[in-house]
Amino acid sequence: MLIGLAANRLHHHDGTAALFRWLRASGKGLRELQVSLHVVGRTFDAIERQGFLDDRTVLLRYPYGRQGGLMKLVAEVVGMGAERTLDGAVYLIDPVDPSSVFPEATALKRQCVIHGKPFISTVASARDWVENERIHAGLPADAGADDLHAFAGQTLALIAHDAMKPAMLAFADEHFDVLARFGERVATGTTGQRLNELAWSRGWPSDTPWVTRYQSGPMGGDAQIADRVLEGRCQRAIFFEDPHVARQHEADIQLLERAVTTVTDQAVCITAPRVAARWATAAARRAQG
């Protein structure tokens, strides 16, 4: 498995930074999965400086970001041959670092979404992804990831742009039992109404909303959910983005994404239907023991 890796400066500046919190938590799983990391230069240098390189970890060093390292990861998400086609990308984002909104950073996420590959921007998402892949590989559950799967005490946000609403409804229908395990679900306007109608059609009590509805995205619903994320009252967001359409409320969308990366250790975000389905399948298997 080949995964691109980059981190903004805040997340690798010393041994307690986000990158190393993830590697400490998930290093064993990365080795079990035989993950090869294609690492942008400055991030690679930080890993080497902190002594995280050993003969059990495969890392390939790429140029610094300013020299095209991140651009190369974008090309590899699209595909550059058998040995240079990434299965996803981990990009630990500092939301106030200007480089996080450079074209190559935006393109990395967009191409991951287009090609149905994981784009992982927080420590919690990175830990979650490793555990899910371990479950798919038939490995026993890691007790260190139990906090990520304590759904009864968590809130799940379900958000979809107009063109992606059918995909969200199909996803919720197929994985209804997993989503129903969450203590609370929230959604923006129209998506929330359709999800409630789906739940009622499946026997959910008709006098009880399955999701708590906020405003539509253009009217501020993304901002309302972002506030919950920042307050620690929403731990997971499944956000089906349409990468092909210009969006008038782009700032609102970015607000939610920035909120998730601000609380990097607490919030998990999934942005593509294929990735969400793989997570839900792993979650169901993990619960079955």
Catalytic center residues: 222
β-pair partners for 120? 90
Quote the tokens at residue 129.
């992804």
> Which of the 8 DSSP states describes residue 233?
S
Say if residues 123 and 265 touch (Cβ distance below 8 Å): yes
Phi, psi of 170 (to 5 degrees): -65, -40
Q: How far apart are CA 124 and CA 247, in angstroms?
A: 27
Sequence-ordered list of residues with C-beta below 8 angstroms from that of 213, at least 6 positions apart, any chain: 186, 187, 188, 189, 192, 193, 196
Tokens 């670092």 map to which residue?
97
Q: H-type helices in 33-164, by residue range?
A: 41-49, 69-78, 103-114, 123-136
Helix axes 18-32, 123-136, angle to 10 degrees: 10
Spell out where 12-164 has E strands. Answer: 36-39, 58-61, 88-92, 119-120, 155-160
Q: How far apart are CA 153 and CA 246, in angstroms?
A: 36
What strands, in cross-sheet order, belong to the sheet with 236-240?
A: 212-213, 184-187, 155-160, 236-240, 268-270
Tokens 């298997």 map to which residue?
285
Nearest by Cα to 122 from 89, 152, 98: 89
Q: How far apart are CA 105 and CA 91, in angstroms?
A: 9
